[in-house]
């Protein structure tokens, strides 16, 4: 492994690999992160990388990058790059992230961590080896950085809803509800790994683990592909991933979770709803109203609504006066800020690649259960068992 980037007096240089939806969201974050924390060094937005030279050059100019490139491997050899942000389709996550870590670059990889358990385990092994040399990594579950959800986690940890008994979590979108919607890479297993499972359930499972501080131990599940063929560039193609999934999860803390995800839910655009019910209270959140958290705390028998924009609320100290709400894009800025803060302090960023692997294990169990007509599948403990890698 090469020597990790030294503590330079200037801000770290960043390369984003991928320039479509997530590349744009992450570019927006890197552009704004320096303004979030007074006195923070910010970053040097060095290069945006993509396969199409003309298209990535246009995107780099639009997003404010110093330059564009098409060869991500050549970018990893550059001394002016300290951080590599992986925003490519899932089948490329392992290859790009592992190569970047071995080149001594700090890495953020978009969720889900990988397309398979095997790839995720290899990424964790690479992350652990790099960590020993001061090179850090993180998986991009940006919803951990929604202020209302961060506040919800504080309430659960403080015991303000008592012992968590049940959770309802649903992530519903409608962008595939039209059977005439065309084929995309997200509908091909070899590129995406899975459908609504990897795309949406990964967020849901991460929130279960993060909000509750518990691990999923078993699942019963059903998946469905409602539209099995869609129009491709060269004619109809088979859809090889799930359109929707339903699962009951059990945790090591005794909670029972009802999980539902779909990209076929007509009239739902980006509806990520979470309800947590405890022995002495409850919490309720809707991403389409992401500045609000409904709370019933300390034995209250009805909900009250909190506008999560006060200076003492999570992440709000770097933003606007109370009542001036934040948007979805702010979660990526918080993510970038947390990552940079961890690098500056020498701490390990979170969520780690190990967290990404734990989510991957649950997704794999859901697929296994669905293939077995809903039988219970126990989730392997969140350790890496490949040869030469220590268990957690």
Three-state secondary structure string covering the chain: CCCCCCCCCCCCEEEEECCCHHHHHHHHHHHHHHHHCCCCCCCEEEEEECCCHHHHHHHHHHHCCCEEECCHHHHHCCCCCCEEEECCCHHHHHHHHHHHHHCCCEEEEECCCCCCHHHHHHHHHHHHHHHCCCCCEEEECHHHHCHHHHHHHHHHHCCCCCCEEEEEEEEECCCCCCCCCCCCHHHCHHHHCCCHHHHHHHHHHHHHHHHHCCCEEEEEEEEECCCCEEEECCEEEECCCCCEEEEEEEECCCCEEEEEEECCCCCCCCEEEEEEEECCEEEEEEHHHCCEEEEECCCCCCCEEEECCCCCCCCHHHCCCCCCCCCCCHHHHHHHHHHHHHHHHCCCCCCCHHHHHHHHHHHHHHHHHHHCCCCCEECCCCCCCCCCCCCC
Structure confidence by residue, pLDDT tens digits, 69-120: 999 999 999 999 999 999 999 999 999 999 999 999 999 999 999 999 999 9
Structure confidence by residue, pLDDT tens digits, 282-332: 999 999 999 999 999 999 999 999 999 999 999 999 899 999 999 999 999
Structure confidence by residue, pLDDT tens digits, 165-216: 999 999 999 999 999 999 999 999 999 999 999 999 999 999 999 999 999 9
The angle that helices 21-36 and 330-345 make with each other, rounded to 10 degrees, is 60
pLDDT at 371: 96
pLDDT at 161: 98
Closest Cα to residue 85, out of 106, 66, 104?
106
pTM: 0.93
Task: Report whether the peptide linkage leading into residue 109 is cis, meaning its omega lies within 30 degrees of zero.
Answer: no
Structure confidence by residue, pLDDT tens digits, 38-73: 766 789 999 999 999 999 999 999 999 999 999 999
The 10 Å CB-count burial string (b at 16+, else e) for 19-30 is: beebbbbbbbbb
pLDDT at 391: 29
Structure confidence by residue, pLDDT tens digits, 231-286: 999 999 999 999 999 999 999 999 999 999 999 999 999 999 999 999 999 999 99
Q: Where does CATH 3.40.50.720 sit in the chain?
A: 13-142
Closest Cα to residue 176, out of 266, 273, 241, 238?
266
**Using CA atoms, how far apart are residues 124 and 128, in angstroms rounded to an integer?**
6
| Residue range 363-392: mean pLDDT, rounded | 72
**Using CA atoms, how far apart are residues 209 and 117, in angstroms rounded to an integer?**
18
Which fold does the domain 13-142 belong to in CATH? Rossmann fold (3.40.50)
Indicate the pLDDT class of residue 343, thresholds 50, 70 and 90. Answer: very high
Q: Where does CATH 3.30.360.10 sit in the chain?
A: 147-289+291-326
pLDDT at 35: 87
Contact between 206 and 214 (Cβ < 8 Å): no
What is the CATH code for 147-289+291-326?
A: 3.30.360.10
Structure confidence by residue, pLDDT tens digits, 131-169: 999 999 999 999 999 999 999 999 999 999 999 999 999
Contact between 46 and 19 (Cβ < 8 Å): no
């Amino acid at each position: 492994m090469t020597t990790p980037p030294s503590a330079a007096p200037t801000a770290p240089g960043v390369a984003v690999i991928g320039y479509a939806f997530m590349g744009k969201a992450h570019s927006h974050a890197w552009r704004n992160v320096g303004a979030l924390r007074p006195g923070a060094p910010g970053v040097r937005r060095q290069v945006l990388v993509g396969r199409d030279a003309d298209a990535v050059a246009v995107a780099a100019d639009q997003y404010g990058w110093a330059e564009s490139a098409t060869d991500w491997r050549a970018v990893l050899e550059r001394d002016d790059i300290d951080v590599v942000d992986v925003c490519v389709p899932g089948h490329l996550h392992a290859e790009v992230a592992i190569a970047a870590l071995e080149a001594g670059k700090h890495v953020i990889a978009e969720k889900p961590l990988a397309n398979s358990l095997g790839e995720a385990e290899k990424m964790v092994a690479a992350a652990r080896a790099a960590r020993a040399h001061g090179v850090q990594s993180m998986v991009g579950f940006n919803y951990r950085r929604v202020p209302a959800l961060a506040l919800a986690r504080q309430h659960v940890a403080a015991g303000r809803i008592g012992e968590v008994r049940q959770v309802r979590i649903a992530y519903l979108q409608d962008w595939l509800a039209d059977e005439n919607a065309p084929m995309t890479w997200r509908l091909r297993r070899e590129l995406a790994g899975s459908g609504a499972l990897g795309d949406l359930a990964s967020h849901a499972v991460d929130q279960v683990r993060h909000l509750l501080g518990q691990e999923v131990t078993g699942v019963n599940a059903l998946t469905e592909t409602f539209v099995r063929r869609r129009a491709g560039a060269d004619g109809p193609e088979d859809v090889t991933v799930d359109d929707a999934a339903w699962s009951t999860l059990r945790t090591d803390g005794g909670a029972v979770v009802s999980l539902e995800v779909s990209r076929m839910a007509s009239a739902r655009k980006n509806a990520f709803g979470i309800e947590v019910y405890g022995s002495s209270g409850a919490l309720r959140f809707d991403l389409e109203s992401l500045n609000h958290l409904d709370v019933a705390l300390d034995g209250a028998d009805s909900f009250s609504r909190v506008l999560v924009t006060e200076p003492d609320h999570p992440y709000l100290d770097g933003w606007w006066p109370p009542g001036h709400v934040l948007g979805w894009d702010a979660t990526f800025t918080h993510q970038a800020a947390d990552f940079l803060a961890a690098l500056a302090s020498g701490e390990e960023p979170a969520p780690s690649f190990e967290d990404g692997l734990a989510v991957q294990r649950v997704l794999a169990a859901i697929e296994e259960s669905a293939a077995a007509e809903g039988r219970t599948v126990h989730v392997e403990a969140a350790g890496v068992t490949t040869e030469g890698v220590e268990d957690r």
